Structure formats: structure tokens, C-alpha cells
Amino acid sequence: MARSSSKDAQDLFRALWSAYAATPTNLKIIDLYVLFAVFTALIQLAQALDVLAELYGHREYIQEVPLEIVTLFKVVYMALVGSFPFNSFLSGVLSCVGTAVLAVCLRIQVNKENKEFKDLAPERAFADFVLCNLVLHLVIMNFLG
């Protein structure tokens, strides 16, 4: 039973890899951008939780690697400013997640195989992406206070 499931998993990975190898380069670049945005959001989440645990004394060990300055400033901002102390943390994480979602939308619109957006020019899709990112980050800055 375990042998067939591992073979199925290998076949699945081979099929996914061959399908991704046929993906155009511009879509692969957008995929890398999405992965970067999601990875950045996860790092911010982990660092903020780590700093909060240290601030509130729930940390049982001392980490040898120093925290990044940006995360430290975010946590200080969370502690000092605003009626809801997590505005800074939320805005940082939601900025990364929102950027990733907008990049996925760009990828869907630029993909030539997608029949829904066949009449949409790639330049128009990129302009929409830039405008939406501008609006997103203006809202994020407003959320900071």
C-alpha cells in the first residue's frame, strides 16, 4: 500500500514538473514574485511572534541571532502607538499577503491560455496591478496611523 502511494506521489510530481516546464517565462517570474511575497509575510509573522514572546517573558531561551531592525521597530510601534496595538504587525503582514494576491491576479490575467482574459492586453493587466498595489499600500499606510 505504501509503495503504490509513493509511486503515485512521484508520478504526480513528475506530471507537475513537466507541466510547469511548459509554462512561459513571464509567468514563472510572476510565480517567483508571489513566492517572495508569501515568504516575506511568513518571516514577518515569525519574527513578530518571537519579539512579542520575548517582550512578555514567555521565552525560555535566548536566541543568538539578532532580530531584524524592521521587526523590532514594528513591535515597538505596536507597543507604543494606536488603540489597537497590532496595527503595525497587521499592516506589514497584510501588505505582503495583499501583494501576493495581486500578483496571482496578474498571473491569471497575463496567462495566454486563460480564455476569460484573452481580450485584455498584458500592458493593461500590469497597469491594473500597479494601480491596485498603489491603492493597497496607501490603505496600509493609512491603517498604520
Rounded to whole angstroms, how far apart are CA atoms 127 and 24? 20
Other CB atoms within 10 A of residue 97 CB: 17
Give the tens place of pLDDT for each residue, 42-97.
Answer: 777 777 776 666 666 655 444 544 555 666 666 666 666 654 556 667 777 788 88
| Residue position matching grid coordinates 511548459 | 22
Rounded to whole angstroms, how far apart are CA atoms 12 and 7? 9
Question: How many residues in total does the chain contain?
Answer: 145
pLDDT tier at 145, thresholds 50, 70, 90: low
**Chain mean pLDDT for the chain:** 78
